Amino acid sequence: MTARQQIHLSDGRELFYFDDAPGKDRSAADLRGLPEVTNVSERRWDSLAGEWVVIAGHRQSRTFLPPADQCPLDPTRDADHLTEIPAHDYDVVVFENRFPSLSTSTPVESSLHGLFHIEPGQGRCEVVCFTSDHSGSFASLPVPRVRTVLDALINRTVELGRLDGVEYVFAFENRGEEIGVTLSHPHGQIYAYPFVPPRMERTRQSLREHHDATGECLQCNLLEAEHGDGVRIVEKGSHFTAYVPFAARWPYEVMIVPHRHVPDLPALDEAELAELAELYPAVLKRFDGLFDGPAPYIAGWQQAPVRFDRDLWHLALQVFSIRRAPGKLKYLAGSESGAAVWINDIAPEKAAAALRGETV
């Protein structure tokens, strides 16, 4: 049973310990004496694209690829290495980001001058450390630890969704310097947005249109179609299926989808969570097997918006790598970055076969 304990860091930020079992003392104090930080975050409306852009200039000073012995996500070992986690060891930790893109305390005020619309960058950004082992990975976690991570994500999804103004909770992991990771310690992040992100908003619209036309769930229908076709399925359990999307954008991309129609992680039952704790890292290991070494990837939970169309949404985890071959990356060039038209070098069917370990 996951145990949760809360403390405050020396600058007032919240930190939560999630332990695999109760009975561990997590009362150690943060001795760094950090000053209170003012995060000047704002969001500006892009009138042409019809979406918000977050401006967070204070993030320029965030920690960037420190030496392993100076990692701020390691546990505090002694007085010479005080980190973000005061305890000398931990299972899973979640804490407010010291350099957040969104904040509940930004001093920015709303303003509207013609087409120039600014709103405060209200929200919250949290860091999720999966293990105290600096050299570990999510894929290498034991199943009980994966379950603890899932319990932490469930707790934070619920709590962040209760904050005033939060419209969407996005939990994700970036792994690998090629992806843009600035800290190599195994960790993820959670963003509580004051709006529904563009990708999720487009998905919501598609789900709504399909439901209005058919009375059915588009994700349920896609899952049924993938089961019927079979060629793009990578893993299949009693409660979840992992498959390469028919129109995959990335060289190697997998959707992990529950068979039951649920809106978010908190809606999963015990049997589903138990299977997910095994299937999720198994999929990540398949990514590592593609290149005989750690694969750079992004894994993001596509959950329902906090306040509307929750009955239409079907939970999914998207995992994708920007590596298309050993030593070769999929760069977002003119067509992708400039026109948002994706060109994939690998057919989804071949990608699925490679992820299954078949010769292609």
**Domain ranges, residue 184:** 3-195
* Total domains present in the chain: 2
Is the same domain home to 205 and 349?
yes
Residue pLDDT, tens place only, 80-127: 899 999 999 999 999 999 999 999 988 899 999 999 999 999 999 999
Is the same domain home to 123 and 139?
yes
| Closest of 283, 251, 255 to residue 347, by C-alpha | 251
Residue 65 pLDDT: 73
Residue 60 pLDDT: 73
Is the same domain home to 154 and 220?
no
Residue 179 to residue 168: CA distance in whole angstroms:
23
Domain boundary among 195, 215, 245: 195
Which carries the bigger pLDDT value, residue 1 or residue 314? 314
User: What DSSP letter does each residue of 43-76 carry, written as one string?
Assistant: EEEETTTTEEEEE-GGGGGS--S--GGG-TTSBP
Which carries the bigger pLDDT value, residue 267 or residue 327? 267
Residue bearing tokens 């986690």: 85
Residue 293 pLDDT: 85
Q: Is 360 among the domain residues?
A: no
**Above 90 in pLDDT, residue 1?**
no
Residue 348 to residue 248: CA distance in whole angstroms:
6
The count of residues in the chain is 360
Is the same domain home to 189 and 280?
no
Mean pLDDT (whole number) for 167-172 = 98
Is the same domain home to 8 and 85?
yes
Q: Is 342 among the domain residues?
A: yes
Average pLDDT, the chain: 95
Is the same domain home to 111 and 257?
no
Residue bearing tokens 């001058």: 113
The residue annotated as part of the active site, out of 8, 113, 134, 187, is: 187
Is the same domain home to 220 and 132?
no
Mean pLDDT (whole number) for 282-308 = 96
* Catalytic annotation present for 187: yes
Domain boundary among 160, 195, 230: 195
Mean pLDDT (whole number) for 181-193 = 95
Q: How sure is the predictor about 360, in pLDDT bands with cuts at 50, 70 and 90?
A: low
Q: Is 255 among the domain residues?
A: yes
Helices (H), 43-175: 143-161
Is the same domain home to 57 and 96?
yes
Cα→Cα distances 113→146, 192, 266, Å: 48, 27, 41
Residue 292 pLDDT: 82
Residue pLDDT, tens place only, 236-258: 999 999 999 999 999 999 999 99
Residue pLDDT, tens place only, 336-351: 999 999 999 999 999 9
Residue 79 pLDDT: 87
Mean pLDDT (whole number) for 144-164 = 98
Q: Is 37 among the domain residues?
A: yes
Mean pLDDT (whole number) for 308-315 = 97
| Closest of 140, 161, 123, 155 to residue 17, by C-alpha | 155
Q: Is 44 among the domain residues?
A: yes
Is the same domain home to 188 and 225?
no
Residue bearing tokens 């299972």: 91
Domain boundary among 164, 195, 226: 195
Mean pLDDT (whole number) for 134-151 = 97
Is the same domain home to 214 and 177?
no
pTM: 0.96
Residue pLDDT, tens place only, 36-60: 878 889 999 999 999 999 999 877 7
Q: Is 211 among the domain residues?
A: yes
Is the same domain home to 258 and 121?
no
Residue 180 pLDDT: 86
Residue 214 pLDDT: 98
**Is the distance from CB of 128 to CB of 92 less than 8 angstroms?**
yes
Q: Is 122 among the domain residues?
A: yes
**Above 80 in pLDDT, residue 137?**
yes
Is the same domain home to 149 and 211?
no
CATH number where 127 lies:
3.30.428.10
Q: Is 171 among the domain residues?
A: yes
Cα→Cα distances 356→232, 295, 325, Å: 10, 15, 16
